[in-house]
Amino acid sequence: MVSPAGNDHQHLPNCTQVHDPPGVFFSLGGYSGNHYHGFADVLIPLFVTSRPFDRQVELLVIDTQPWMVNKVKTIMQALSRFVAFSFCHEYDEVDIDRSKQDGKIHCFSRLVIGLKGRGRKELGISPLETDYTMKDFRQFLRSSYSLRKTRAIKKNPMMNNPQLIIISRKGSRAFTNVNEIAGMATKLGYYVKVVEPDDKTMSESAEMMNSCDVVVGVHGAGLTNMVFLPDNAVVVQVIPLALDWSAKIYYEEPTKEMNLRYLQYKIKKEESSLIGRYSPDHVVFTTPWSFKWEEFRSIYMQNQNVTVDLRRFRPTLVKALELLHD
């Protein structure tokens, strides 16, 4: 059991242990296992909540799993000298779940319940909550993961080719002609890597993304890794059919506060795998907003892949080069 250590103890049990550092109590449950929600709903709000304590704060984490600890421990250890996971005895200072069973009472002079700014702004920081900005958060990430590249290169014949990463997704919203896209980008002067972020640790993803100048990806959680990009890098979001609204809210708008450049490529129905299952005049193409959420999600988010028209897409990659030159 966790209890506040205040002056009025009349109705409180005696403390088994009093903790000097203040505490921040929060959950890693819900959708936080998803890469986007892990940042938008937990890690960014945790930064806003914990950073003012200058690491002199105890993080009390519940509803998590060992794989999640491995994913976020670098960030949490950069925010706090004291991290207590409810299940993981390797890091425990307070075993929260066990304390409820054995009757131990842990007391804090100050305890923050929940995280500031959660849900206030998609992949961003609301100025209503704090003076911290996404620039501060990105600098914190660079420091935490020892990322060296602070700015995207400018296109110059005397310099190395700009690095372009193509995010390859598994399952839905995947490129079906990723090799052809990579080949075209190489001919335009990019040094190209095709990567699957799901196969990387957070540290590997951070280093990989920080090394590149342009990232290309179909709308999805993999684009969340743009938080690790150097300043002035270019984000190219490929937008599948009917996903314009979420593309704008979740990824286009956040780039404005991250000092990143943004380009988008909206596919035509001929570039969607849905054209192989529905006729061109089907309601799927004419009025996608007529579907209820579960149906919409199934059709457009879970069962749609992209075959990019190379001729149409080429000017977008050329424009990205021009933005690096500016």
pLDDT tens readout for residues 177-226 = 999 999 999 999 999 999 988 778 899 999 999 999 999 999 999 999 99
- pLDDT surpasses 50 at 240: yes
How do residues 310-325 score in pLDDT, each as one tens digit?
999 999 999 999 999 8
How do residues 24-35 score in pLDDT, each as one tens digit?
988 888 888 889
Q: Measure the CA–CA gap between 116 and 223, rounded to whole angstroms.
A: 24
- pLDDT surpasses 50 at 90: no
CB under 8 Å to 102, separation ≥6 — which residues? none
CB under 8 Å to 107, separation ≥6 — which residues? 2, 3, 4, 5, 15, 17, 18, 19
Residue 235 corresponds to which tokens in the numbers above? 């984000």
58 vs 93, higher pLDDT: 58
Q: How far is CA 124 from CA 112, 121, 206, 235, 271, in A?
A: 21, 5, 18, 16, 31
On whether the CB atoms of residues 272 and 306 are closer than 8 A, the answer is: yes
- pLDDT surpasses 50 at 237: yes
How do residues 278-307 score in pLDDT, each as one tens digit?
999 999 999 999 999 999 999 999 999 999
- pLDDT surpasses 80 at 92: no
Number of neighbours of residue 227 by Cβ within 10 angstroms: 21
pTM: 0.89
Q: How far is CA 263 from CA 20, 165, 235, 290, 295, in A?
A: 49, 15, 6, 28, 29
Question: pLDDT-derived band of residue 118, with 50, 70 and 90 as boundaries?
Answer: low
